[in-house]
Amino acid sequence: MIDKSKLAEANAAHADNLQHDYDALGAHLARRGVDIADVLEKACEFAVAVPSWGAGTGGTRFARFPGKSEPRNIFEKLEDCAVINDLVCITGEVSPHFPWDVVEDMGEVKAAADSHGLTFGPVNSNTFQDQVGQAHSYKYGSLSHSDKSTRDQAVAHNIDCIEWGKAIGSDVLTVWVGDGSNFAGQSNFTRQFERYLTSMEDIYKALPGDWRMFIEHKMFEPSFYSTVIQDWGSNILAAQHLGDRCFSLVDLGHHAPNVNIEMIVARLIQFEKLAGFHFNDSKYGDDDLDSGSLHPFQQFLIFNELIDAEHRGAKNFRPEYMLDQSHNMTDPIESLATSAVAVQRSYVQALLINRTELEGYQDDNDAMMASQCLKRAYQTDVTPILSMARFKAGGAIDPVGFYRSLNYRDTLETKRPASANPSSGIV
Ligand code: PSV
Ligand code: MN
Ligand code: MN
């Protein structure tokens, strides 16, 4: 999507400084016994998927302020996702949301992605919204609804998602439902969860043998008193109930403030149920702010757990990384590119933790040194490694600066006239 000669020219202006900074960091890390080349290699292998719906300008329940030249359909979303990947080279996978991203011939969607060098990650179902012409409303729930016909409709939609997913080469179905209640006494918690599990059993049965199913928990919203899969407890119970190919997905924004998310991650890994992540940041709850924009230390601590699991050779450990953000104030391309790098940054910082030393401090109950051991990795500015990884992969040393120089949105203004409700569904 972007002009390679312009990119080469822009990179040339930064290349000498980058090499200088990279060499200086390399010398510093060498004194700590770390070979920067090994870290660079791992940084280059890192990947995080982008959500198709994140390419559109989001909104709140109060208003939506449409962005200039925002994508109006899956093909235009893929164009923007291709730009992001051209800039940062770690977002080659796109996670679609259905039915927002459904077209008559899903083969065309696959072909479009192929033409951009993109592939598809987990597919997401949507039974938190009514679609035009649907027979039964989800106002009072979907997979856990008291009415069987409504539950069946929600199950059928998830099975459709698997079919659409097959057509585009996905092998994961992520299920998040908004089911819950707003009044004490409105729903019987146990019967509601039983109905949810029965519906999920039907979906699980329809899963192809090489597919996995991810369940996403969320504490509140759209329901404000109770939510069926409100936390990792209900999530892992459901995943364990459903079977070996069902896992629990952690969306960083779906917990109460101050919850120890890294510890939840450790538990899910220990019991072989970690599906992966929807990365974003949050101050209050599901704010869908840019990843690492508020709590980069928390994100680093999560990667500490992930790298620890990798080191220990944890069983059934194959986490999928994905962003899930809603951009109301920034250009989604800039936010998604920046967030992808912020997640990669946490990963690279966590690679620098001296695990042998850390274990020693933990065994000796040396709280201060254990904390300093983590902080030493966290406080290392790994920017030169991240920039070098992009440069080597053919991306931009300065992604946002270069993107701005393209005036991308201006060039698309006639091709993509403003639309009040793009198919991201987020209004
Ligand atoms: C719900 O808040 C959520 O995080 C789920 O992942 C949805 O699929 C996504 O947002 C988009 O609405
Ligand atoms: Mn999510
Ligand atoms: Mn969310």
Sequence letter at residue 352: L
Is pLDDT of 427 > 50?
no
Sequence letter at residue 78: L
pLDDT number for residue 156: 98
Nearest ligand to the CA atom of 251: 2
- Cα–Cα distance measured from residue 137 to residue 155, given in angstroms and rounded to the nearest whole number: 14
- Cα–Cα distance measured from residue 378 to residue 351, given in angstroms and rounded to the nearest whole number: 10
- Cα–Cα distance measured from residue 91 to residue 255, given in angstroms and rounded to the nearest whole number: 25
Average pLDDT (158-165) is: 98
- Cα–Cα distance measured from residue 280 to residue 294, given in angstroms and rounded to the nearest whole number: 10
Nearest ligand to the CA atom of 323: 2
Q: Quote the distance between the C-alpha of residue 410 and its chain's center.
A: 28
Cα 176 to ligand 1 centroid, rounded to whole Å: 7
Predicted TM-score (pTM) of the model is 0.97
The share of the chain scoring above pLDDT 90, in percent, equals 96
- Cross-strand bridge partners of residue 227: 180
Cα 322 to ligand 2 centroid, rounded to whole Å: 9
Q: Is the CB of 124 under 6 A from ligand 1?
A: yes
- Cα–Cα distance measured from residue 280 to residue 250, given in angstroms and rounded to the nearest whole number: 11
Q: What is residue 216's three-state secondary structure?
A: strand
Confidence of residue 61 (pLDDT cuts 50, 70, 90): confident
Is pLDDT of 419 > 80?
no
Task: Provide the pairing of β-strand 180-181 with 226-227.
Answer: antiparallel
- Cα–Cα distance measured from residue 96 to residue 99, given in angstroms and rounded to the nearest whole number: 9
Of all protein residues, the one whose alpha carbon is nearest to atom 5 of ligand 1 is 176
- Cross-strand bridge partners of residue 95: 51
Nearest ligand to the CA atom of 289: 3
| Range in 61-70, 237-246, 299-308 the model is least confident about | 61-70
267's CB contacts (< 8 A; 6+ apart) are 232, 236
pLDDT number for residue 410: 96
Strand order in the sheet with 93-95: 50-51, 93-95, 119-120
Q: Is the CB of 101 under 6 A from ligand 1?
A: no
- Cα–Cα distance measured from residue 226 to residue 180, given in angstroms and rounded to the nearest whole number: 5
| Range in 8-22, 209-223, 410-424 the model is least confident about | 410-424
- Cα–Cα distance measured from residue 357 to residue 374, given in angstroms and rounded to the nearest whole number: 10
Confidence of residue 420 (pLDDT cuts 50, 70, 90): low
DSSP conformation letters of 263-279 = HHHHHHHHTT-EEEEEE
Is pLDDT of 425 > 80?
no
Q: What's the chain's average pLDDT?
A: 96
pLDDT in tens, 338-348: 999 999 999 99
Cα 385 to ligand 1 centroid, rounded to whole Å: 32
Q: Is residue 247 within 8 Å of 273, Cβ to Cβ?
A: yes
Is pLDDT of 423 > 80?
no
Of all protein residues, the one whose alpha carbon is nearest to atom 2 of ligand 1 is 286
Q: What is residue 235's three-state secondary structure?
A: helix
pLDDT in tens, 294-344: 999 999 999 999 999 999 999 999 999 999 999 999 999 999 999 999 999
Instruction: Write down the ipTM of this complex.
Output: 0.99
Q: Is residue 292 within 8 Å of 331, Cβ to Cβ?
A: no
Confidence of residue 1 (pLDDT cuts 50, 70, 90): confident
pLDDT number for residue 60: 87
Is pLDDT of 206 > 50?
yes
pLDDT number for residue 424: 53
Rounded alpha-carbon distances, angstroms, from residue 15 to 10, 18, 44, 389: 9, 5, 17, 12
Q: Is the CB of 331 under 6 A from ligand 1?
A: no
Q: For residue 109, which of 99, 174, 130, 326 has the smallest C-alpha distance?
A: 99
pLDDT number for residue 426: 47
The share of the chain scoring above pLDDT 70, in percent, equals 98
pLDDT number for residue 421: 60
Is pLDDT of 94 > 50?
yes
pLDDT in tens, 343-389: 999 999 999 999 999 999 999 999 999 999 999 999 999 999 999 99
